[in-house]
Structure formats: C-alpha cells, structure tokens
Structure 1
Amino acid sequence: MKLIGMLDSPYVRRVAVSLKRMGIAFEHESVSVFQGMARFSEINPVIKAPTFVTDDGQVLMESSLILDYVEFLQGPGKGLMPLTLAERTQTLRLTGLALVAYEKAVQIHYERNLRPAERQHGPWLERVSGQLKTACGELERELKARPLNAGMDIGQDGITIAVGWSFIQLVVGDHVSGEAFPVLAGFSAEAEALEIFRTLPMV
C-alpha cells in the first residue's frame, strides 16, 4: 500500500499516523500537489492529497474514506473506531469537529497566501476564523467533560484532533492560541510526544 502526499497536510498526516498506530506497513511518497503536479497526476489525475493506492492498485482519496477502507481491512475491533454505537457517535462528533477546524484553517491559509492582499475578502476571513475558533471551543469543552487518552492506545478522534491542532498552530496560530484552549493544546502536546507522531513530523 502507498500513501501519496506531503505530511504538512493534516489530511495526509492523519492517515499516516493512523496507519502507523494500527501497525499497517505502507510506503509514503511525499509529493506536493503544487510543485509535484506532474508526478501526482501520474498516480491520481485529479491531483488530490491524500491519495492512497491499495495492494490491488485501486486509487482512493479523501482521508475519511481511506480510513474507512483501512478500518474494514483490519476488521471489527482491530481498527481505531469504537464498536458500540454510543462510543462511536462520540468519536465521530470529535473527529468531525476536528475536521471542520482543518478545513477552516486551510481556507484561511489559502486566502492569505494564495490571494493578493488587496483581493482578500475581510468578511469571509472573519467568518471562517469564527468557525475555526468555535470548532476549537467545542473540542475544548468536550475534552474537559470527557478527557481522551493521549497514550499509545489513542483512537481516531485523538489522532485527528492532535494532528489538526499542530497544523493550526503551524499555519494560523495567530487566530487560535494555546492560551485560549489549554486543554486542547495540552492533549495535543501529549499525543505529539508519542513515537507514532514523532516519526511522522509535519515539518
């Protein structure tokens, strides 16, 4: 199996850390969707990161769909998602909040770095920044009420949260600070200290 994409993408890194957490062997090809468009298009013509190539040559994309495939491949109880409905629902909620934060951080980053300053739309940036802060606020509240384990048995919700927080701090840390969300920041720091994260650094 092969994972294509740069680890500075939270979506790519989320898949990579999850695969490593499950002990699944994979080859990682670090290709940029910007500088490496020609190479990327050879593997996936729509140039979407992450791209995942299965052992039988199927090309998958979108991190959640890739991880759904891997969960099925592992079998019940051997993946990173809980088996009971209540636990799975809570995991899906936390994962969803973290993915919203990813999306909003990416939108802010692209608006500020790909669009000329005179063409950046202030109201749009304000709205997206508000959504990012709200998503982080909801995660902070959830983690206070029901702390997650940031140890070696970390689940999909914890991986998604920690990867997302590190990405947010890297690209839009001026919008969301650790001082404002200490529980979220503390949890993510603990997770980032794990070997599965340290061996797959974002930068």
Structure 2
Amino acid sequence: MKLIGALSSPYVRKVRMVLAEKKLDYQFIPENVWSDHTQIAASNPLGKVPCLLMEGGESVFDSRVIVEYIDTLSPVGKLIPSAGRERAEVKTWEALADGLLDASILARLESTWAGRAETERSDAWIARQMDKVHLALQAMERGLGDKAFCSGIHMSLSDIAVVCALGYLDFRFPQIDWRSPHPSLHKLHDKMALRASFIDTQPQ
C-alpha cells in the first residue's frame, strides 16, 4: 500500500497512527495539495489527502473510509467495533474530532490563505469556526469524564482521532490553552503521547 499525504495534516496523521497501531507496512508519498504542481487529482479528484493507493492502483480516500478499511486488514489491535452501539460511539467520537479539525482548518485558511486579500478576510467567519472548536473541546471533556479512554476500557479509534485533533491545535493554534479547562483531555493526551504511533507522527 501507498499513502499519499502531508506530514502537517491531522487527517493524514490519524491514518498513520492507525497503520502504526495495526503494525502494517506501507510507503509514504509526500504531497503538497496547495502546490501549483500537485498531482493529487490523479489519485483523488477531490484534491485532498490522505489518499490510500491499493496494490492494484485503486484509490481509497477520506480518512474515515481509510481507517475503517485498514482496521479490517489485521486482527492486531482492533480499533473499531464491528457493530452496534459500541461502533456508533467510536464513529461519533471520530466525527466530533474531525469536526473540530474541519472548523479549525477553515479558520486558519480564512486567516492565512494567500489567495485572499487581507480586506477580504472575515473575522466573523473565523469566530464562528473557533466557537465550534471550543464547543467540541467542551463536549469531548464531558464525554471523557474520568474514563481511561473515550470509548470503553481500551484504546480505540476514538482516542486516536481526539489526540490528532488536540495535536493539531498545539501545532497551528499554540495560543489556545485547551489543557487548563479540560484536564481529562490533558490526561488522555499525555497518556497517548507515550505511544510510538504518537511520537513517530508528530506534525511537521
């Protein structure tokens, strides 16, 4: 398998962490989708990463689809329950974490995208997205509570998705202090930060 992605992308990081936890080999192909010379459309017509290339050349894209597929490839470290309420809970945690990322990335693009003049940027739009970020953090803190992990008693995709979102805030929004008001998330993050999959996928 080949994974097309950017080392700065939290969605790519989520896939890389899952691949590491599943102990699966793959080739990483770096790609800058914002470059004038990007070739990503040849693999993903949406122009986004991550994109997983199969041995036969087929493409699988969207991080949620990719991690679900990867989890079926090996019985090692099952990360997504197969059915029922447990599965819905894990996928909802992933949706919440990805939603935080969606909002934070939209806010950052509004602030920094070179294709927009300073006079065209909307502070109201940025504030709207950052409100979603803070509401998502509050919901994560409530949902985690005093549990060891987000879903059940073992690490799952829920925890990987959440720490990728928190790691992106540290990477792109260091001015946001999410740790002080969210001690449970802080504890989870620090516990997950000891894993090789976390250490080896730090955003760059």
Q: How does 1:1-203 map to 2 (within 5 A)?
A: 1-35=1-35, 37-74=37-74, 79-83=78-82, 85-114=84-113, 115-148=116-149, 154-175=155-176, 177-203=178-204
Please list every run of 5 or more consecutive structure 2 residues that lacks an aligned counterpart in the other structure. none
In 1, Cα distance between equivalents of 2:31 and 2:57: 18
Residues 118-127 or 58-67, more deviating? 118-127
Q: Provide the rounded CA distance (Å) in 2 between the counterparts of 1:43 and 1:100.
A: 24
Runs of 4+ in 1 over 6 A off after TM superposition: none
Q: What amino acid sits opposite 2:25 in the alignment?
A: A
The separation in 2 between residues aligned to 1:44 and 1:141, in whole angstroms, is 36
Cα deviation code 1:48-83 (max 9, x no counterpart):
1011101221111100011222233346x8631124
Q: CA deviation at 1:184?
A: 1.2
TM-score w.r.t. the length of structure 2 is 0.87
Q: Aligned partners of 2:81, 2:16: CA distance in 1, in Å?
A: 20
Identity percentage over the alignment?
21
| Distance in 2, Cα, partners of 1:182 & 1:37 | 43
Once residues 36 and 201 of structure 1 are traced to their aligned partners in structure 2, the CA distance between those partners, rounded to angstroms, is: 26
Backbone CA RMSD of aligned residues? 2.3
Query: 1-side partners of 2:156 and 2:85: how far apart?
Result: 15
Q: Determine if contact 2:6/2:31 at 8 Å carries over to the other structure.
A: yes
Q: Which of the pair is proportionally richer in helix?
A: 1
2:35 aligns to what SS in structure 1?
coil
Q: TM-score, normalised by structure 1?
A: 0.88
- How far off is 1:24 after superposition? 1.1
Higher mean alpha-carbon deviation, 180-189 vs 124-133, is at 180-189
Distance 1:30 1:36, change over 3 A: farther
Secondary structure at 2:72 match in 1: helix
Query: What is the distance in 1 between the residues matched to 2:123 and 2:22?
Result: 42
